[in-house]
Amino acid sequence: MAMQTKISALLSEVESFTASSLHEVEEFRVKLFGKKGEVTLLFDEFKQVSGEVKRELGKKINELKSKAQDRVSELRQALEASPSPTLLLDTSRPGSADSVGTRHPIASARSEILNIFRQLGFTVAEGPEIEDDRHVFGALNFPPEHPARDMQDTFFIEKREGDDNPVLLRTHTSSIQVRAMESQQPPIRIVCPGRVFRNEAISARAHCMFHQVEGLYVDHSVSFADLKQTLLYFAKELFGANVEIRLRPSFFPFTEPSAEMDVSCSICGGKGCNICKGTGWLEVSGCGMVDPSVLDACKIDSQKYSGFAFGMGVERIAMLKYQARDLRLYFENDVRFLRQFTAVV
Given the rule CB under 6 A, which residues bind ligand PHE?
172, 174, 214, 252, 255, 286-288, 309-311
Closer to ligand PHE by Cβ: residue 29 or 172: 172
C-alpha to C-alpha distance for 175 and 171, rounded to whole angstroms: 9
- Shortest-Cβ-distance residue relative to ligand PHE: 311
C-alpha to C-alpha distance for 149 and 136, rounded to whole angstroms: 9
Q: What count of other Cβ atoms lies within 10 Å of the Cβ of residue 265? A: 22
The residue among 286, 115, 111, 314 whose CA lies nearest residue 195 is: 314
C-alpha to C-alpha distance for 153 and 147, rounded to whole angstroms: 8
Q: CA 69, 75, 79: angle at the middle one, nearest 5? A: 145
Q: What type of residue sits at position 110?
A: R
DSSP, residue by residue, 90-124: -TTSPPPPPPPP---HHHHHHHHHHHHHHHTT-EE
Q: By the 8 A CB rule, do 205 and 126 touch?
A: no
Least CB distance to ligand PHE at residue 258 (A): 6
Least CB distance to ligand PHE at residue 95 (A): 50
The residues pairing with 32 across neighbouring beta strands, listed in sequence order, are none
94 cis-preceded (ω within 30 degrees of 0): no
Closer to ligand PHE by Cβ: residue 174 or 266: 174
Least CB distance to ligand PHE at residue 254 (A): 7
Q: What type of residue sits at position 194?
A: G
Closer to ligand PHE by Cβ: residue 193 or 311: 311
C-alpha to C-alpha distance for 28 and 114, rounded to whole angstroms: 72
Closer to ligand PHE by Cβ: residue 174 or 306: 174
C-alpha to C-alpha distance for 109 and 324, rounded to whole angstroms: 13
Closer to ligand PHE by Cβ: residue 25 or 259: 259
Closer to ligand PHE by Cβ: residue 60 or 172: 172
Least CB distance to ligand PHE at residue 255 (A): 5
Least CB distance to ligand PHE at residue 171 (A): 7
C-alpha to C-alpha distance for 156 and 177, rounded to whole angstroms: 21
Closer to ligand PHE by Cβ: residue 60 or 212: 212
Least CB distance to ligand PHE at residue 148 (A): 9
Least CB distance to ligand PHE at residue 198 (A): 9
Residues 6+ apart with CB under 8 A from 184: none
Least CB distance to ligand PHE at residue 290 (A): 8
Closer to ligand PHE by Cβ: residue 233 or 341: 233
